[in-house]
């Protein structure tokens, strides 16, 4: 998220915390001009508009905002860990079970620790020596960054993208997925409570086709960090091409588990069930395919089916629940559609006789 250039950057003295805080406060005040407005007139969605003056841009680039992130490094992760309502909101937001969401919240706090520890190095450049010359580079924030996050594990994945952008000294505009917007607002409140100046971390809610598109096409946004499906990533790259935006993508994929005959089948079956069903199966690292050596196929698939029958399905706030409700009827239809496709293609569907679980 940082831009490397061969020049000296004017910045407040990082050793002088008072002057740095004052400088960051001035930037935050100026960044108040970065207005994000979503209107819906006559049923026609109008995407957010982002206005930024030349003075705002100059300040945002030239002042080392990452120092504000460093100053919050002790309190911000602690606040994330101590806010019990994060976990409750995340469960309500996604339907995912408490036992998994609680760990994801802790991972979010750790993301802030990791990147805040590296923030002091964000402007480190390189010194390259050659015969009769020396090349010195430094690094400066690229500018405002648009962050677009998905509906699966939205809290943790938001910290995954936002923390490095802040550590590099960039301001951000975050658009969470429309299916899971609740924890995004709480994250902003936590960051400001930890000392991050208002206006550095901005939030906009809306649909991808209008709010997201406005971010990816707006010339004031210099980079896009996105987690989601590959097709959407392709659209974002096209939308940002005219303004030469940098992109940082984490896209979907297919993740097989391969089990050979010499494996510990009991442990392998436990791993397979975890990778398929944890977080409701709504994760980019879920194992959507299971490839088994033919000689153990019947034995192993029966073992996996038996373990799947014992999975507790229930209310996401029940500590014993493993699988909660899917996030949205639209997603439920998609899951059922794939089961139907599997049947049509000749797959055998193993499921329990009760209504509590199916595989």
The residues assigned a catalytic role are: 250, 284
Q: Which helix (H) or strand (E) holds 251?
A: strand 246-251
Q: Which residues contact 337 (CB under 8 A, 6 or more apart)?
A: none
CA dihedral 32, 20, 6, 120 (to 10 degrees): -110
Instruction: Give phi and psi for 158, each to the nearest 5.
Output: -65, -45
Order of strands, sheet of 246-251, starting from the edge strand that comes earlier in the sequence? 201-203, 172-175, 145-148, 223-228, 246-251
Characterize 173-192 residue by residue with b for buried, 16 or more Cβ atoms within 10 angstroms of its Cβ, and e for exposed.
bbbbbebbbbbbebbbebbb
Residue 26: count of CB within 10 angstroms of its CB: 14
| C-alpha triplet 119, 162, 5: angle, nearest 5° | 50
Q: Give 42's DSSP letter.
A: T
* Short-list 333, 345, 318, CA closest to 88: 318
Contact 185, 203 (CB under 8 A): yes
- Rounded distance between C-alpha atoms, residue 268 and residue 277, angstroms: 14
Instruction: Give phi and psi for 207, each to the nearest 5.
Output: -85, 155
């Amino acid at each position: 998220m940082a831009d490397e250039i061969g020049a000296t950057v004017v910045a407040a003295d990082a050793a002088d915390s008072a002057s740095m805080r004052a400088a960051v406060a001035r930037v935050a005040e100026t960044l108040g001009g970065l207005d994000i407005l979503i209107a819906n007139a006559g049923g026609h969605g109008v995407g957010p508009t982002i206005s930024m003056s030349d003075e705002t841009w100059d300040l945002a680039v030239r002042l080392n905002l990452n120092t504000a992130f460093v100053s919050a490094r002790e309190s911000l992760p602690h606040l994330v860990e101590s806010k019990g309502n994060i976990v409750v909101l995340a469960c309500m937001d996604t339907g995912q079970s408490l036992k998994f969401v609680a760990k994801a919240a802790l991972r979010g706090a750790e993301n802030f620790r990791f990147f805040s520890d590296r923030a002091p190095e964000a402007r480190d450049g390189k010194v390259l020596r050659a015969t009769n010359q020396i090349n010195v580079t430094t690094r400066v924030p690229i500018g405002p960054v648009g962050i677009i996050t998905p509906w699966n594990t939205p809290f943790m994945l938001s910290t995954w993208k936002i923390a490095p952008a802040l550590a590099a000294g960039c301001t951000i505009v975050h658009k969470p997925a429309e299916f899971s917007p609740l924890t995004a607002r709480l994250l902003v409140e936590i960051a400001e409570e930890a000392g991050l100046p208002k206006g550095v971390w901005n939030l906009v809610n809306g649909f991808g086709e209008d709010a997201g598109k406005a971010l990816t096409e707006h010339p004031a946004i210099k980079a896009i960090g996105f987690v989601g499906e590959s097709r959407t990533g392709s659209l974002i790259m096209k939308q940002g091409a005219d303004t030469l935006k940098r992109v940082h993508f984490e896209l979907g994929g297919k993740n097989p588990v391969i089990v050979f005959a010499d494996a510990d089948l009991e442990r392998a079956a436990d791993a397979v069930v975890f990778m398929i069903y944890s977080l409701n199966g709504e994760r980019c690292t879920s194992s959507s395919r299971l490839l088994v050596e033919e000689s153990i196929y019947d034995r192993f698939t029966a073992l996996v089916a038996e373990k799947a029958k014992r999975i507790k399905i229930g209310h996401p706030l029940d500590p014993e629940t493993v699988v909660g409700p899917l996030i949205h009827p639209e997603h439920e239809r998609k899951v059922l559609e794939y089961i139907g496709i599997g049947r049509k293609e000749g797959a055998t569907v193993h499921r329990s006789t009760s209504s509590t679980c199916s595989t």
